[in-house]
Amino acid sequence: QVQLVESGGGLVQSGGSLKLACVASANILTTNVMGWYRQAPGKERELVAAVINRSNSKYGDFVKGRFAISRDYSKNTMYLRMDNLTPEDTAVYYCNARWGTENYWGQGTQVTVSS
């Protein structure tokens, strides 16, 4: 059973920045897809950013160049750098990783952006 542990969430003012981290208990180099999702109260979970097949990155339309996904394979860790945050970015952010047909989620980390 793979574990994904997120960290780095918190309270930040509008216009501020945060960097989320997701540490995996397995080798992330062999993931098919690894990414970040978020879910705000009353809304569906949505894609924030993902790395597909180790080389292609995909971002949600709302990101508009403000976020950057990266990975450190030596640490089995994925990051999400978020800049110019707005209150609309307030949500629980989840790490997701897929190895073949095996799909795993982290427990989530809360990001709250105050106006």
Residues of the chain with pLDDT under 50: none
Return the pLDDT at 11: 98
Could you tell me which of 103, 90, 75 has the C-alpha nearest to residue 18? 90
Structure tokens given for 12: 């930040």
Q: What is the pLDDT of residues 83-98, one digit of tens each?
A: 999 999 999 999 999 9
Return the pLDDT at 29: 92
CB-based contact 109:79 (threshold 8 Å): no
CA–CA separation, 109 vs 27, rounded Å?
22
Return the pLDDT at 54: 82
